[in-house]
């Protein structure tokens, strides 16, 4: 069974569809673009333009806030990827939506996973993206350079966030952390089904159920906090 087919099968088992689409929080979506290079799965990431007001220069996936014209999170992710890196929607084989996260602006962010061609040449929109690079997916389970950082999440709880430093063959180093790292790690756990070389906040024998529990706990505590602030 080839690498892509196995990944596709594993991803479909973790597809959440639209089960979180009706939560009463603002919505956003990101595209997790997978490509096959030298028989290995890689993930495409972007670096945010330094001119942006929010998180300038940070590594992220193509994506952004939902607009009224978007049918669903898949639409949002594909529209944003086209705007940011010139990726045409028809050039993406969308596989699934994975468990969402909540960003620091309290958006429910849905990761949309899709395959793109290895030959894809990004044309970054300089207003939004300053760089585009790819990382072998397995790096997010067996990193060479990793640390966990304590972080107070949007519900006020202290958690740990993954922080990776990835150096490519051109000796450029990229810091990948926060929600972007969280999604990359979860994607690697889903596809490879292996234990990482670092601690994660999941029961790895029940990955789907424990990731859902984590998300719903975060959502519920955020909801409580909002109510107490009213």
Residue 216: what pLDDT?
Answer: 94
User: 3-229 has which fold?
Assistant: Nucleoside Triphosphate Pyrophosphohydrolase (3.90.79)
Residue 170: what pLDDT?
Answer: 87
Residue 221: what pLDDT?
Answer: 86
Token duo for residue 65: 């806030």
Rg (CA), the chain: 17
Which stretches in the chain have pLDDT values below 70?
Answer: 1, 154, 226-230
Residue 6: what pLDDT?
Answer: 96
Residue 29: what pLDDT?
Answer: 98
pLDDT tens-digit readout, 23-67? 989 999 999 999 999 999 999 999 988 787 777 789 999 999 999
Residue 152: what pLDDT?
Answer: 81
pLDDT tens-digit readout, 132-142? 999 999 999 99
User: What does residue 228 show for φ and ψ, rounded to 5 degrees?
Assistant: -70, -20
Q: Label residue 102 left, alpha or beta by phi (over 0 means left) and psi (-120 to 50 means alpha).
A: beta
Residue 50: what pLDDT?
Answer: 74
- What is the torsional sign of CA 77, 83, 89, 95? negative
């Amino acid at each position: 069974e080839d690498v892509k087919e196995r990944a596709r099968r594993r991803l479909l088992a973790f597809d959440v569809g639209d089960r979180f689409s009706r939560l009463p929080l603002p919505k956003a979506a990101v595209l997790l673009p997978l490509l096959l290079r030298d028989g290995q799965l890689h993930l495409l990431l972007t670096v945010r333009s330094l001119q942006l007001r929010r998180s300038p220069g940070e590594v992220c996936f193509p994506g952004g806030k939902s607009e009224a014209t978007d049918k669903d999170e898949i639409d949002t992710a594909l529209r944003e990827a086209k705007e940011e890196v010139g990726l045409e929607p028809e050039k993406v084989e969308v596989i699934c939506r994975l468990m969402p996260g909540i960003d620091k602006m309290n958006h429910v962010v849905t990761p949309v996973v899709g395959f793109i061609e290895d030959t894809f040449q990004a044309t970054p929109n300089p207003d939004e993206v300053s760089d585009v690079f790819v990382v072998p997916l397995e790096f997010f389970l067996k990193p060479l350079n990793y640390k966990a950082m304590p972080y107070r999440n949007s519900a006020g709880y202290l958690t740990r966030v993954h922080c990776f430093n990835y150096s490519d063959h051109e000796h450029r180093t990229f810091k990948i952390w926060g929600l972007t790292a969280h999604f990359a790690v979860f994607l690697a756990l889903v596809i490879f089904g292996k234990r990482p070389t670092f601690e994660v906040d999941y029961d790895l024998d029940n990955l789907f159920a424990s990731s859902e529990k984590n998300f719903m706990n975060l959502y519920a505590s955020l909801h409580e906090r909002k109510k107490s602030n009213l």
